[in-house]
Structure 1
């Protein structure tokens, strides 16, 4: 990288600031026929052929690391990693273990929902210090059941830590708060999180189900589109050449996906991922021209 800014991913190029649409490898689970999981190469080839430019995944085990690196290079896919730290040492170890993976950034689901107040602020500050020391962008995912359990406490952390940046997955807050309709108090809090967004995870939830189809409700879809577009607008403020905003399609297998009585998922997560990809491109267009 040409320079390090903890708040942004930068590839060191002179390309204009850009949105990159990535696919979650977790979301690729369970797409095989007759319960046979496709090979890694089959999955990566499918991702690249559909126009995705990167993936988000756990760091592969050493035994298969070289295969991953070869295939990522072959299909021209960037790599962002998942991390689940309980403390700064966990994040430091994660970065060390993956030092040969040419990671674009680390996405963190920080444990746990019962760490609150000053203890949470100290933990998040320590994780930020590790990110800066290793010059590896690290973004805290807004996720229920984690340190960012609800938007109220998450905003408190953001106010205490000026450099704290988020991977925006607003589906968790819609679900946890049963926010089936627009709520002005929530929107004020969301604004702070949107302003601090450095990556986006795309999934649409209702107030009762963590993952629903894009066509579930026009009104709910419109709200997500507005949130994603506004996060992109904020990110573009001050963006520099080479800056990258990852938009990850992250539609999980059951129990995130809904199954019918026959044990099959009701809709195709892959087809839904392609719909989300198109939605992201439309949001980016609005963010850059309006």
Structure 2
């Protein structure tokens, strides 16, 4: 399937004259093990649940070849957009990913560029090569802020932005809060975080602490407030540059164990679907504040 090549791949734009808007999406990874006693729900039931809850899109890996027709049918049936995950070690990995995903109406590509041991000039060259591939295809392309990847820490990630106005991020600050043990607000970290907020083109919704990657939203009011402030500011920066037809995806991305905390019996201690709905509500409240 051939799609129109976009001139600007630093933002998502649907070509309409609609006011710039937030869309709250759900991660398909976050739909794992949501059935009774941690079993898997049927694929269509996952789609139905996502759509009925008011999510407007899905973020997922490109489905296996034998599942793609089902995915295309369900995306159309439930009127859900589709963003894809990519895990490139080199530019050719992204090229292959785009070829595999070409039959879908892809909204954007989210890249976890590997790995944390690729640093300095090697990292800069990889980022530039990935952008060049995405630019050739005209696919909105965002690099996820993620520990264990090329964006391992705040300092090196902000350094990548120098002389790269095209570098845009999928903002997931949960990794930096955890990796930096930032339970308390840190003055040295805040300017670096602000630099990333200004480059945000998508947001991953997960709240962490300095000890846990995924905390219970109902019991972590201080961390919820801090993340909500960051997300609201990122939305304000995004709106300041927004044009008609622009879309900012907020993806609720609450992972199964070991991201989710479990008890001695192996069962998760929170209702991850309920938490996703709370995150959706929080994102919508942040958007109202940002405007």
- Same fold, judged at TM 0.5 (above): yes
1:173 aligns with 2:181: no
Instruction: Determine the structure 2 residue equivalent to 1:219.
Output: 222
CA separation of 1:122/1:285 partners in 2, compared to 1, >3 Å: closer, same or farther? same
- The Cα shift of 1:2 comes to 8.5
Alpha-carbon contact 1:175-1:208 (below 8 Å) kept: yes
Aligned to 1:127: 130
Residue matched to 1:37: 40
Give the counterpart of 2:250 among 207, 229, 247. Answer: 247
1:220 Cα deviation from its structure 2 partner: 1.2
SS in structure 2 opposite 1:184? coil
**Does structure 1 residue 191 correspond to structure 2 residue 191?**
no
Cα deviation for residue 245 of structure 1 reads 0.3
Q: Deviations over 1:90-146 (max 9, x none)?
A: 111101111011100000000000011111111101111111110001100000000
Q: Give SS of 2:241's match.
A: coil
Give the structure 1 partner of residue 57 of structure 2: 54
Moved more, 266-275 or 215-224: 215-224
CA deviations over 1:224-280 (Å, ceiling 9, x no partner): 001000000011112111110000000000000000112110010000000000000
State the SS of the aligned residue for 2:166: coil
Counterpart CA distance in 2 for 1:131 and 1:195 is 21
Greater mean deviation of Cα atoms: 49-58 or 237-246: 237-246
In structure 2, runs of 5+ residues without a counterpart are: none
- Structure 1 residue aligned with 2:213: 210
Q: Which residue of 1 aligns with 2:10?
A: 7
1:56-98 CA-to-partner distances (Å, cap 9, x unmatched) read 0000011110110000100010000000000111111101111
Q: Which runs of 4+ in 1 moved over 2 A?
A: 1-4
Secondary structure of the 1:215 match is helix
Q: How does 1:1-290 map to 2 (within 5 A)?
A: 3-288=6-291
Secondary structure at the aligned position of 2:217 is classed as coil
Question: Root-mean-square deviation (CA), in Å?
Answer: 1.1
Cα distance in 1, alignment partners of residues 38 and 269 from structure 2: 16
Unaligned runs of 5+ in 1: none
- The question of whether the paired residues in 2 share the 8 Å contact of 1:2 and 1:11 is answered with no
